[in-house]
A and B are shown apart, each in its own frame.
Chain A
Amino acid sequence: MTIKRIISILDCKILNIDENDNISVDSVYATDLMSDVLANCKKGSLLLTILSNLQSVRAAEMTEVQVVCYVSGRQPKPEALAHGQKKKMTILTTDYSMYRACSLLHDAGLEE
């Protein structure tokens, strides 16, 4: 699924977008536990989380996740956003809750 479509489905605000904004994700992983991301999140997934500190982006970097979306209107901390920009990640935020965001993406055909 393209980033543009995800932004539209989740009505996201874009905090940083990779210049190559026609990238797409094959799967989604939703968690607030970074060890869970490291253990189970597939490379190239979209990460949905409420955890807004630097480690949310570090965990994405280690697992080679290029798109992070913060749910429930959560804004990433400045150091998290700065690191995401440095690593050319797409950083989004949505007002939808984790449950609602997962449900909308699932309805649109995106699997874990």
Chain B
Amino acid sequence: MSKIRIADRIQEILYELEVKSVMWTDFYTLHPHKMMSEVRTVMQKNRNTCVPIVLDKKLIGTLTVDKYIKWLKSHEKDMPVTRCMDVDQITLHPQEPVISALRKMSDSKSIRVAVVEPDTHEIVGIICRCNLFEDVLSKINVIYKDEEVRHYRASHIFEDVLADSVNITLKFHVADTPMEFGGEVASSLRTALQNLGLNGDMIRRAGIAAYEAEMNLLAYAGGGDFRIEVNPEHLQIVITDTGPGIPDIEQAMEPGYSTAPDWVRELGFGAGMGLNNINECSDKFEITSEMGQGTKLDIIIDLEKP
């Protein structure tokens, strides 16, 4: 995996990882009726610098070690913990991305934060900043290793699968949607080829050719079908439609020749460059068409040997 891909994946993981997957669910709480004189044992025993005050599973405040020391210094008589607790502390919810938790904790300079269900306000966990990094890194490590294994398996499929010949076939249907929203198949194809670990330049060429072809299907043929075959030698994209057909293929291949109506041009296409672009991206390109029957494009991009 390239360094950029690694950085992208770690960033994605930080966004995907939810607070609930790294929070502590085994934590100590104090009942509001507890007295300040009882706090020391709890803090010492559990090495807690911040203890949630909880009534009927609901968070009503937190008592920090700072507030406890302040109370000790004041030499005031014993009192319930509710008199010294903070009530405006930040909280996190379990489905929140870890990256958002990190930002909130950094902005509020909080070290320990309670995780609370947004609907019921029940406390379900605790996040501690010092352990959060460790937990996140360990999760990233696990996810990243899985990702690497998955990526390795996909990109080495031709070496790992022992057979006389290995062909991967992908099929996509281009539905008759407005051209304005087209390009979904080309986008999915790019992702699939990336996951197969193909060379970056090949993916770019395949994506451009597929995108131009997809837009042509939507502009002229009411949709069509893609069949992609990947084998150790090349990538073949066959696109078929049952549209009106092309009357003069030679003319259609001339750069700048176009029969596109204005609405196609308004979308940024129809300048007579599409078939040429496909040709430029291919190592081999064939086009056959029959009037009233449809058109077939056969694109071959040779796989570069590592």
A residues bordering B, Cβ < 8 Å? Answer: 19-20, 32-36, 38-39, 43, 51, 53-56, 58-59, 61-64, 79, 88
Q: What residues of chain A lie closer than 8 Å to B274, measured between beta carbons?
A: 35
Q: A33-B268, A62-B204 are in contact. Are A55 and B182 (CB under 8 A)?
A: yes
B211 in contact with A58 (CB, 8 Å)? yes
8 nearest A-B pairs in the assembled complex, by CB-CB distance: A34-B268, A35-B273, A58-B183, A62-B207, A51-B268, A62-B211, A38-B208, A39-B277
Name, among B273, B274, B276, B280, the residue most crowded by chain A CB atoms within 10 Å (CB to CB): B273
B273 in contact with A39 (CB, 8 Å)? yes
B268 in contact with A53 (CB, 8 Å)? yes
Q: Is the interface of B mostly helix, strand, loop or mixed?
A: helix
At the interface, yes or no: B186 with Cβ under 8 Å from chain A? Answer: yes
Q: A34-B268, A35-B269, A39-B273 are in contact. Are A54 and B7 (CB under 8 A)?
A: no
The residue that B267 contacts in the complex, of A53, A64, A79, with Cβ under 8 A, is A53
17 more A-B residue pairs beyond the given contacts A53-B268, A55-B268, with a C-beta to C-beta distance below 8 A: A20-B11, A32-B268, A33-B269, A34-B269, A36-B271, A38-B211, A38-B273, A39-B280, A51-B268, A54-B180, A55-B183, A55-B215, A55-B267, A62-B190, A62-B207, A63-B204, A63-B208
Q: What residues of chain A lie closer than 8 Å to B7, measured between beta carbons?
A: 20
At the interface, yes or no: B187 with Cβ under 8 Å from chain A? Answer: yes
Q: A55-B268, A62-B186, A62-B190 are in contact. Are A35 and B180 (CB under 8 A)?
A: no
At the interface, yes or no: B96 with Cβ under 8 Å from chain A? Answer: no
Q: What residues of chain A lie closer than 8 Å to B233, measured between beta carbons?
A: none
Q: List 12 A-B contacts (CB under 8 A).
A: A33-B268, A33-B269, A34-B267, A34-B268, A35-B277, A36-B273, A39-B273, A55-B183, A55-B269, A56-B268, A61-B190, A79-B181
Q: What residues of chain A lie closer than 8 Å to B254, measured between beta carbons?
A: none
At the interface, yes or no: B86 with Cβ under 8 Å from chain A? Answer: no
A59 in contact with B187 (CB, 8 Å)? no
Q: What residues of chain A lie closer than 8 Å to B122, measured between beta carbons?
A: none
Q: What residues of chain B lie closer than 8 Å to A58, measured between beta carbons?
A: 182-183, 186-187, 211
At the interface, yes or no: B134 with Cβ under 8 Å from chain A? Answer: no
The residue that B212 contacts in the complex, of A20, A35, A61, with Cβ under 8 A, is A35
Q: How far does the alpha carbon of A79 sit from the alpha carbon of B187 in the complex, in Å? A: 15
Q: What residues of chain A lie closer than 8 Å to B200, measured between beta carbons?
A: 64
Q: How far does the alpha carbon of A33 sit from the alpha carbon of B255 in the complex, in Å? A: 14
At the interface, yes or no: B8 with Cβ under 8 Å from chain A? Answer: yes
B186 in contact with A39 (CB, 8 Å)? no
Q: What residues of chain B lie closer than 8 Å to A36, measured between beta carbons?
A: 271, 273
A38 in contact with B277 (CB, 8 Å)? yes
- Quote the shortest CB–CB distance from B14 to chain A (angstroms): 9
Q: What residues of chain A lie closer than 8 Å to B280, measured between beta carbons?
A: 39
Q: Which residue of A lies closest to B181 (CB)?
A: A54
A39 in contact with B276 (CB, 8 Å)? yes
Q: Which residue of A lies closest to B278 (CB)?
A: A38
B273 in contact with A54 (CB, 8 Å)? no
Q: How far does the alpha carbon of A105 sit from the alpha carbon of B215 in the complex, in Å? A: 32
Q: How far does the alpha carbon of A88 sit from the alpha carbon of B80 in the complex, in Å? A: 51
- Quote the shortest CB–CB distance from A76 to chain B (angstroms): 13
Q: What residues of chain A lie closer than 8 Å to B276, measured between beta carbons?
A: 39
Q: What residues of chain A lie closer than 8 Å to B277, measured between beta carbons?
A: 35, 38-39
- Quote the shortest CB–CB distance from A91 to chain B (angstroms): 16
Q: What residues of chain A lie closer than 8 Å to B273, measured between beta carbons?
A: 33, 35-36, 38-39
